[in-house]
Amino acid sequence: MPSLDPADPDVVAFWTERHLCTLTTLRADGCPHVVPVGTTLDVATMTARVITRVDSVKARNIAAGRTRVAVCQVDGRRWATLEGTARVTQDSDEVAEAVSRYAERYRQPRVNPERVAVIIDVARMLGHI
């Protein structure tokens, strides 16, 4: 698969345009759980962020130790997949940062007292842009 250069201006632009993504986590039996999510990417640190509820399946899968994840974004022939290791955090500063980045790329999310952030340390970026 083709690797992407995160410093490429086209890659940076693609990750700032408004596109939904899919997040793939693994269930206990190893089957993939794939859901649409809003994702932000900080190319300077290669950190992706997703906001969700603490009781969501994706958060539970990651919290259970199945931390290998993939995020995929597609727009016509352009696509990018981020692979990495995720963790779920309830830390108020980290959740606020994820919400702020989400609001910048998508829209201000509704208030949710059960919100957590999924923080993904991106190990590999693949795609065609």
Structural domains of the chain, count = 1
Residue 87 lies in a domain: yes
Please state whether 127 falls in left (phi above 0), alpha (psi between -120 and 50) or beta. left
Residue 3 lies in a domain: no
Contacts 24+ apart (CB under 8 A), 111-115: 112/53, 114/53, 114/54, 114/55, 115/51, 115/52, 115/53, 115/54
- The pLDDT value recorded for residue 87 is 98
Residue 1 lies in a domain: no
Residue 118 lies in a domain: yes
* Residue-range definition of the domain harbouring residue 39: 9-128
Residue 2 lies in a domain: no
Which CATH number does the domain housing residue 14 bear?
A: 2.30.110.10
Residue 72 lies in a domain: yes
Q: Model confidence at 68, in pLDDT bands (50, 70, 90)?
A: very high
Q: Model confidence at 2, in pLDDT bands (50, 70, 90)?
A: confident
For the cut 70, the answer to whether the pLDDT of residue 1 exceeds it is no
Percent of the chain with pLDDT over 70: 99
**Average pLDDT, whole number, for the chain?**
96
Residue 82 lies in a domain: yes
Tell which wins on pLDDT, 26 or 2.
26
What are the CA-CA distances from residue 53 to residues 24, 66, 108 (Å)? Answer: 16, 17, 16
pTM of the model: 0.94
Q: Please state the rounded mean pLDDT for residues 71-86.
A: 97
Residue 43 lies in a domain: yes
Q: Please state the rounded mean pLDDT for residues 32-38.
A: 98
